Structure 1
Amino acid sequence: MVLTKLTAVEARLFLRDPAAPFAVLAIPVGLLVVFGLLADGGRPSEDFGGQPALSAFVAPLAVTVLLAMLAVLLFPTTIATYREKGVLRRLSASPVPPGRLLTAQLLVNLAAALVAGVLALGVGVLGLGLSLPEHPGGFVLSVALGALALFSVGMLIAALAPSGKAANAIGLVTFFPMLALGGVWVPKEQLPSFLQHVADVLPVGATLNAVRGTWTGTGASALQLLALAACAVLCGGIAARWFRWE
């Protein structure tokens, strides 16, 4: 009951700031529309082994960037801001366990990711001819592990950042290099060979490339899935050890 009320409050606060919901909805949909229409991403492409760029790269990219943005930028900034303003300290002195607030925030962010992802897929399938993932079970597993790993990174940032501004700065410093090295700016196949291995173990790159594999039918590699699980355990463990309520 307490968790339900906290989640409802956090959802209202999330929706009260129009910039965050707009960005969450606009970025994945915008990526699909721009690349699907302007770049003619629905046609088979030699760069992706005869697969359309829309399903072989753009749609997995939209899903991954959505998760990374929520997990590494929005989520830790909110939690660190609550610490800075004393919200976590007041909760720690109340009968409500402070961990419920973290759970409520995670639920709100995951719900936002689900809504935005379904909307983007609907636009892609109905308006752009996007095909659905060929390995739906592997797709769900890859997205779930990717979300777990990325939100563990976000929790680590939230655990260490003393303020909302600091969390946002750390998140940006973490976010953009992971995009560059994870095969987001250019597909993994176009990176130097040694960076291709890096792309498969970083949280953003492992998520993107695992989702790409399940979408096109080749499947996610064991290395990518193990890297995501290891990241979740490592970052989650460090965050739990060093997280401060005050």
Structure 2
Amino acid sequence: MAALRTMTAVEAKLYLRDPGTPIIVLGLPIGLLLVLSLIPGVTEPSEEFGGQVPLGTFIAPLSIAILIAMIALNIFPSYLGNYRDRGILRRLAASPVPPRDLLYAQLIVNLAAAVVVALLIIVVGRLALGMELPANLPGFTLATLLGAAALFSVGLLISAFASTQSVANGIGSVLFFPMLALGGVWVRKEDLPDLLQTIADVLPLGAMLNAMRETAAGGNPRPLQLLALAGCAVVCGVLAARYFRWGTR
């Protein structure tokens, strides 16, 4: 445990020294929420959203889901791809420090960043914009945590196969943008054809977003959404553990 704590502290320092980190983890959540809050009508009850206020029941979940997906699918695999490309993983594999500690440390640091993103959006929305808190807070928390687990499992699977940072970025982007298009991000799930609505509730980003929307409005996440997230977390996690290599292939 001491080695893991030390490794986590080191990785956290390196993470914070990256000039892009404060922008993504601190600036982007606040900026995205504030910009989207300027859309006319999002701070008032809307018939289009079932009488709910879109800011708290759509904009906030949307912002959280997008940013957690960016961290899980782009930033997290990018770091590990860079470490593999530079031979850091291979050297750690020959050192007394268990190389898995680096993996755990990276997961802890990036999950902490995801938690900060979610809290920032909720707190800033509440204090600066008067946004209502999620009506079903336990359900919202469950959807967020399970969604983060699913997305980070996908990120870990990307890391298992990406030999370099650029490859990791490429694979992450290939997965990220279709999830935006089909997950109810660019177009609300309700406005998609029936088949695509089902797909939106199965894809990790879409299942997370739509479960968060349900719970923010006071409802419960749909079983399909929870099953899809849990299944993705388990399947991708198992595959990543099976095929992950510390060196290049």
Report the equivalent of 1:143. Answer: 144
The one-character-per-residue Cα deviations of 1:49-104 (angstroms, maximum 9, x if unpaired) are 11111112100011111210110000001011101111111111111111110111
Report the equivalent of 1:13. Answer: 14
Report the equivalent of 2:45. Answer: 44
The Cα shift of 1:192 comes to 1.3
Report the equivalent of 1:104. Answer: 105
Report the equivalent of 1:177. Answer: 178
The Cα shift of 1:21 comes to 2.4
CA contact (8 A) 2:25 2:116 kept: no
CA contact (8 A) 1:73 1:172 kept: yes
Alignment of 1:15-164 (within 5 A): 15-164=16-165
Question: How far, CA to CA, are the matches of 1:127 and 1:239 in structure 2?
Answer: 41
Scaled by the length of structure 1, what TM-score is found? 0.97
Question: How far, CA to CA, are the matches of 2:164 and 2:211 in structure 1?
Answer: 33
CA contact (8 A) 1:210 1:224 kept: yes
CA contact (8 A) 1:43 1:53 kept: yes
CA contact (8 A) 1:31 1:58 kept: no
CA RMSD of aligned residues (A): 1.0
Question: How far, CA to CA, are the matches of 2:198 and 2:121 in structure 1?
Answer: 29
1:191 paired to 2:165: no
Scaled by the length of structure 2, what TM-score is found? 0.96
Letter in 2 for 1:81: N
Question: How far, CA to CA, are the matches of 1:182 and 1:37 in structure 2?
Answer: 23
CA contact (8 A) 2:68 2:117 kept: no
The one-character-per-residue Cα deviations of 1:184-203 (angstroms, maximum 9, x if unpaired) are 01211011111000000000
Percent identity between the two aligned chains? 57
The Cα shift of 1:31 comes to 2.2
Question: How far, CA to CA, are the matches of 1:32 and 1:138 in structure 2?
Answer: 22
The Cα shift of 1:145 comes to 0.7
CA contact (8 A) 2:135 2:217 kept: yes
CA contact (8 A) 2:33 2:63 kept: yes
The one-character-per-residue Cα deviations of 1:157-200 (angstroms, maximum 9, x if unpaired) are 00011111000011011100011100001211011111000000
Question: How far, CA to CA, are the matches of 1:180 and 1:163 in structure 2?
Answer: 27
Q: Can you give the 5+ residue segments of structure 2 that lack an aligned partner in the other structure?
A: none
Question: How far, CA to CA, are the matches of 2:129 and 2:38 in structure 1?
Answer: 8
2:45 alignment partner, SS class:
coil
The Cα shift of 1:26 comes to 2.4
In the comparison of the two structures, how many residue pairs are matched?
246
Question: How far, CA to CA, are the matches of 2:99 and 2:23 in structure 1?
Answer: 28
The Cα shift of 1:20 comes to 2.3
CA contact (8 A) 1:14 1:21 kept: no
Q: Can you give the 5+ residue segments of structure 1 that lack an aligned partner in the other structure?
A: none
